[in-house]
Amino acid sequence: MTTSPAVSFEFFPPKSEEMEKRLWDCVQRLTPVRPQFVSVTYGAGGSTRERTHSIVRQLAQDRGLPAAGHITCVAATRGEIDEVLKGYWDAGVRRIVALRGDPVSGIGSRYEPHPGGYAYASDLIAGARRIGHFDISVGCYPEIHPEASSLAEEIDNLKRKIDAGANRAITQFFFDPSVYLRFLDGVRKAGVNVPIIPGIMLQSNFKGLRRMAAMCGASIPERIASLYEGLDEDPETRDLVTAHIAADLCNRLAEQGVAEFHFYTMNRPGLSLSTCRLLGVRSQGESI
């Protein structure tokens, strides 16, 4: 890779005091990398909504980071979501990640829109556009969303979100470059020309990774699974393997012209920093 890529990071809101310390350590260590933006997720069913909002405001106001709050349609009225959006705008937060969200009853159950809420991400995006000129990211699934019947349906869903006003899409994680490239080709043929940023998973616990993949429909190639064999009690080696897998995937995509990556950090700065270094991304003040 001759030119280092642009990067962004996803954090999740902490559930305990110890996890909060870990989050802010992660933020402190990754800030010098100068990410394009950082995002903060919601818990299932919007369960961490207030913590997410608080962290996003702190990232933007206290840390000076380009912070994006995840906002979902689940378990909230339009009025409640609009208040969150107005609060972000008034706090100087100009980025959001607009998502439909998982069913309140859990992944695998039937999604039922809130009777007084935004039904789908495209509706949420249109609502956000009425409130402020947000920079809006959305999600997409190169291996298709578990509820989609085909790649064509997945691309149609993405196109609706872009037509509603989204600026870019961030993919669900994947491990095979051809999965992303095939999806990108279909997206471009459908007339969608916004950036499609690969989402790169940095989960070194293979049992956890396999569980997450099953929930979102991502496949784990056998060559990847085999690298974790025998490492259940060896977290240091797992971390090395994970950074290698992520950097190799990014480098292979970069060879095809991809210049930006979004890292699912799991609030673990070491893995993100290791991967960035392997890609030639340095902290501010460092030279390659």
State pTM to two decimals: 0.95
Does any domain span residue 76?
yes
pLDDT value at residue 161: 98
In sequence order, the 6+-apart residues with CB closer than 8 A to the CB of 131 are 82, 85, 86, 89
**Residue 58's pLDDT is what?**
96
Q: Could you write out the DSSP letters of every residue in 170-209? A: EEPP-S-HHHHHHHHHHHHHTT--S-EEPEEE----HHHH
pLDDT value, residue 47: 59
Specify if 285 maps to a domain: no
Q: What is the pLDDT of residue 284?
A: 77
Which residue has tokens 């992303």? 180
Q: Which domain holds residue 261?
A: 6-278
Residue 6: predicted pLDDT: 98
Position 287 in a domain? no
pLDDT tens, residue by residue, 200-233: 999 999 999 999 999 999 999 999 999 999 999 9
Tell whether 288 is covered by a domain.
Answer: no
**Alpha-carbon distance 199 to 47, whole Å?**
23
∠ CA 212-214-220, rounded to 5° = 85
Instruction: Report helix angle 78-90 to 49-61, nearest 10.
Output: 20
Rounded Cα distance, 60 and 211, in Å: 32
pLDDT for 251 equals: 98
Summarised one tens digit per residue, pLDDT across range 175-208 is 999 999 999 999 999 999 999 999 999 999 999 9
Provide, rounded to the nearest whole percent, the portion of the chain with pLDDT above 90: 86
Bridge partners, residue 138, by sequence: 98, 169
What was the pLDDT predicted at 235? 97
Tell me the two tokens of residue 64: 């000076």
Contact between residue 198 and residue 253 where contact means Cβ atoms under 8 Å apart: yes
Angstrom distance (rounded) from CA 80 to CA 3: 43
Q: Tell me the residue length of the chain.
A: 288
pLDDT band at 172 (very low <50, low <70, confident <90, very high): very high
Please indicate, yes or no, if residue 286 is contained in any of the structural domains.
no
Tell whether 1 is covered by a domain: no
Is residue 83 among the annotated active site residues? no
Q: In the numeric block, which tokens belong to residue 109? A: 């159950």
**Per-residue pLDDT tens digits for 69-125:** 999 999 899 999 999 999 999 999 999 999 999 887 677 778 888 899 999 999 999
DSSP for residue 209: H
Q: What percent of the chain has pLDDT over 70?
A: 95
Euclidean distance between CA atoms 51 and 104, whole angstroms: 18
Express each pLDDT in 226-275 by its tens digit.
999 999 999 999 999 999 999 999 999 999 999 999 999 999 999 999 99
Domain total in the chain: 1
Predicted confidence band at 45 (pLDDT cuts at 50, 70, 90)? low
Q: Which two tokens stand for residue 92?
A: 């100087």
What CATH number did the domain enclosing 38 receive? Answer: 3.20.20.220
Is pLDDT at 144 greater than 90 in this prediction? yes
Active-site option among 10, 143, 154, 260: 10
